[in-house]
Amino acid sequence: MAVITPEERLWSVVKANPADFNAWTELIQETEKHDEIDRIRVCYDTFLAEFPLCYGYWKKYADFELRLGSPEKIIEVYERAVKAVAHSVDIWVHYCAYAAEKFPPEEVIRLFERGVSLVGTDYLSHILWDKFIDYALARQDYSLLMQVRTRILEVPLQQLDRYFMSFKQFTNNRHWLDVRTEEKRHLAETLPRNAHESEKLISAKEAIYKKTKEWDAKIRDFENSIRRPYFHVKSLDDAQLANWHKYLDFVEKEADMQKVVKLFERCLIACANYPEYWIRYVEYLEKQKNLEMANDALHRATHIFVKKVPDVHIFAARFQERTGDATAARKTYKYISTELVPGHLDAIVKAAHFEMREGDNDAACGVFESAIEVEKAKEESKTLSLLYVQYNRFLCRVCIVSQTPRAKTSSLCRRLIASPKLRNEVKQLDKLSSLIQQSTKAETGLAHTDREELSSLHLEFVDAFGDINAVMEAEYRHEGLFPFRKSYIDFKRRLAHDASFSDRAKLLKSSPAAMQAYGQQQWAAAYGGQSYPQNWQQQQAPQTAQWNAYAQQAAYSAYGTSQVFSESVS
């Protein structure tokens, strides 16, 4: 009997469950022992396809290519990295540091410009700006140096005061005026030539600096409350999640679209595993009428980061319907209920309502009937009885029949759905929606939970009787009043009851060192040696000590169970 190596065993684990981060870290460590670049490439490529935001592992991959591979492969890895995690300051710092040693000056400057265009407004992007300044200074490119120093003054960085002081010192320091070559004289033509010009330049830039400080004062508390700006599979605490929502609320009201998009992209590094932030981002982009960016964000959510979360795919189907792609919406609903979470009741109900809105009455009833047939074929079905209940309620609500025998109900339903009289009755939807809006306001005196339940019931009603615009409008309003809290609570509840969770937890507990190693590697790759606030590592220390708690939280892939569509039947 062939002996299975640790590497082979770990490959079998991650193939069975690609979201098992703990097994991946063990597999990477085991693979690295062999020092074989082809095996390392396969391992890192597969891992980073599942966890593309792990900048520390991109850096390790590039280091292996530097030691065992080729210059072309190093660049390829870094280019893939900055595409996968484009809004990470740290990966740009590593890439630019490598380029500064290996590339021609023009290419290095272009790379720095690419980096600062994407992450240069990050509150902690001083580590990249410092690299840019150091490079210009080393080359004695004073024109570039002045350009970079003045641009920084327009960015509300954590260390803005330091940059303004160094700008004044640089401008008042005359030593760089002693140029000895025609090339340097040409570069210095745009620089102040005497003390008077220096004072004028400083005065002009001080006005910009003060304006930037005004914005800094507005965002400082939000920024200082961000404890973990990088990605990790470990859950964020409620305070962190709330801070991101509040920060986004503020920026959406006060800033232009460019600032809002940059903040969303930063948020979606730290909060990549939280579906509510992806949904919020897509909704924002849709409201800005930028469907290309909205589709890109939705694709990242449904294909990479929260691809196992049914609610995200349901949202995707809604979005596809709203933007006129009924074929894609139908395909998405089918994927949820037949592949992602077979028998997912909420998806089945919403798919039926979708078909009704599309005018396909046979398909509307057929969605339920097909799902029922699938469940009937099983030896034991946990959802069959619920399907019958929901189908009956669907027929009663939509067809307004309750006394008709079930055998006749389906054909009658098909006729009644298209009835002009029924459609006239449904026109009262606007009146009901207005009443709900008044009743769910905080000043009504109703308890928060009662208002949320009332709004949720309204969502169900609109889904059954409204068009897609009414559905989305009701959902936007519900999210505004009760921002995403319920989806996260439901997520944790489903996680706690996942039948496969206990086995997964046992496996993870078997090697807590691997989970701790991830936090240390990510930290050492970029944060540990940089000029962050002195208390930064102290703030992170309690979290680093708790990496092995991931076995109890495992918030990445636990949507393996069907969501019970719990309603009392009146």
| 3-state helix/strand/coil string of 418-451 | CCHHHHHHHCCHHHHHHHHHHHCCHHHCCCHHHH
Smallest CA-to-CA distance from 49 within 18, 28, 79 is with 18
- Sign of torsion over alpha carbons 130, 131, 137, 143: negative
Q: Please return the burial class of 342, using the count of CB atoms within 10 Å of its CB with bins 0-12, 13-18 and 19+.
A: middle
Report the pLDDT value the prediction gives residue 199, as an integer from 0 to 100: 82
Token digits for 390? 């929901």
| Beta carbons of 95 and 64 less than 8 angstroms apart | no
- Residue 404, classed as helix, strand or coil, is coil
Mean pLDDT by 10 residues, the chain (570 residues): 88 96 97 96 98 97 96 97 97 98 97 98 97 95 91 97 94 60 50 68 92 97 97 94 97 96 98 97 96 98 96 96 96 95 92 90 89 89 84 71 44 46 54 70 74 76 74 76 54 39 38 40 38 36 33 29 30
Global pTM value: 0.74
| Beta carbons of 248 and 262 less than 8 angstroms apart | no
| Beta carbons of 25 and 54 less than 8 angstroms apart | no
Alpha-carbon gap, residue 527 to 345, rounded angstroms: 45
- The amino acid that residue 92 corresponds to is W
**How many CA atoms are closer than 13 Å to the CA of 456, on its beta-carbon side?**
15
Report the pLDDT value the prediction gives residue 1, as an integer from 0 to 100: 60
- The amino acid that residue 3 corresponds to is V
Rounded to the nearest angstrom, the gap between the alpha carbon of residue 162 and the centroid of all alpha carbons in its chain is 32
Alpha-carbon gap, residue 208 to 548, rounded angstroms: 47
Report the pLDDT value the prediction gives residue 81, as an integer from 0 to 100: 98
**Phi/psi-derived region of residue 376, left when phi > 0, alpha when psi is between -120 and 50, beta in every other case:** alpha
| Beta carbons of 355 and 367 less than 8 angstroms apart | yes
- Residue 195, classed as helix, strand or coil, is helix
The answer as to CATH 1.25.40.10 being correct for domain 6-214 is yes
CATH architecture of 271-496: Alpha Horseshoe (1.25)
- Sign of torsion over alpha carbons 485, 487, 491, 493: positive
Smallest CA-to-CA distance from 36 within 7, 75, 10 is with 7
Q: Please return the burial class of 317, using the count of CB atoms within 10 Å of its CB with bins 0-12, 13-18 and 19+.
A: buried
Report the pLDDT value the prediction gives residue 428, as an integer from 0 to 100: 63
At CB < 8 A and 24+ separation, what contacts does 206-209 make? Answer: 206/164, 208/153, 208/154, 209/153, 209/160, 209/164
| Beta carbons of 57 and 521 less than 8 angstroms apart | yes
- Where in the chain do CATH 1.25.40.10 domains reside? 6-214, 271-496
Token digits for 8? 């082979």
Q: What residue spans of 427-511 are helical by DSSP H?
A: 429-439, 448-465, 468-481, 485-496, 501-509
Alpha-carbon gap, residue 455 to 526, rounded angstroms: 45
Alpha-carbon gap, residue 333 to 339, rounded angstroms: 10
Report the pLDDT value the prediction gives residue 193, as an integer from 0 to 100: 58
257-270 and 275-287 helices, crossing angle to 10°:
170
Alpha-carbon gap, residue 42 to 24, rounded angstroms: 12
| Beta carbons of 134 and 101 less than 8 angstroms apart | no
Token digits for 162? 């330091």
Report the pLDDT value the prediction gives residue 271, as an integer from 0 to 100: 98
Report the pLDDT value the prediction gives residue 37, as an integer from 0 to 100: 97
- Which residues, at least 6 apart from 482, have a Cβ–Cβ distance to it below 8 Å? 451, 452, 455
From residue 191, alpha-carbon distances to 110, 154, 289, 341 in Å are 22, 19, 43, 64
Helix-strand-coil split of the chain, %, nearest 5: 75, 0, 25
